[in-house]
Structure 1
Amino acid sequence: MRIVLAAMLAVASVGPAFAAAPARPTRLGLCAACHGETGMAQVPGAPNLAGQKLDYLREALKQYRDGRRNAPLMRAAIGPIGDADLDELARWYSAQTPQPQGTP
């Protein structure tokens, strides 16, 4: 019985590592123009989003959408995005792997 319990705990602890990657968000296009499809910025001054914490990205997007963060460009880019789309974008970027940046 102990062996079975130990095996179950071992499988449960590695389960998240094998979770399916999130699907490419339908609203990724405008975000990708500045932040890159994989979260590596394409525009100087735009932050890299790859690998950021999911909760942080979700909350930041909500704040841009709702105007609690005063960034007119971001508010215009997000527009009236719903919570489901917002969550999809946050999941996508948090699941991306940051890449080393080349030197200028």
Structure 2
Amino acid sequence: MSRLLIAALCLLAALPIRAQTPTPPARLGLCAACHGANGHAGMPGVPHLAGQRLGYLRDALKQYRDGRRNVPVMRAAIGPVSDAELDALARWYSAQPPQPQGQP
């Protein structure tokens, strides 16, 4: 019996681990208008968010919300967003594949 259990555990350990892609957050439309749903901005001067580090995105969004980063359009957009919603947005954009090199 123990050999069977060990064999089963070894098989489970050998299976590839699939990374979970977060589901699109409810507030995505708010950000997607400028940054794109997949984080590849289509407007000049708007940064790409896809593939950015999760911690960086979380901190940046909080800084826009509380005014430490004084960008009026971002402050207006992020102002009413809760911590949970900010986290969901940061997780979504950090999980997206980054913009390919040489693409605008």
Q: Please report the TM-score for the alignment, with normalisation by the length of structure 2.
A: 0.80
Across the two proteins, how many residue pairs are aligned to each other?
97
Pairing of 1:1-104 with structure 2 (within 5 A): 11=13, 15=17, 18-100=18-100
8 A contact 1:41–1:47 mirrored in 2: yes
8 A contact 1:38–1:93 mirrored in 2: yes
8 A contact 1:33–1:42 mirrored in 2: no
CA distance in 1, matches of 2:35, 2:64: 15
Secondary structure in 1 matching 2:97: coil
Residue deviations 1:43-78, cap 9 Å, x none? 110000000000000000000001111111100011
- Aligned-pair identity in percent equals 68
Deviation at 1:101, TM superposition (A): 6.1
Unaligned residue ranges in structure 1 (runs of 5+): none
8 A contact 1:57–1:90 mirrored in 2: yes
CA distance in 1, matches of 2:79, 2:100: 31
Deviation at 1:19, TM superposition (A): 2.4
8 A contact 1:39–1:48 mirrored in 2: yes
Q: Please report the TM-score for the alignment, with normalisation by the length of structure 1.
A: 0.80
Segments of 4+ moved more than 3 angstroms: 101-104
* C-alpha spacing 1:52/1:103, structure 2 compared with 1 (3 Å): closer
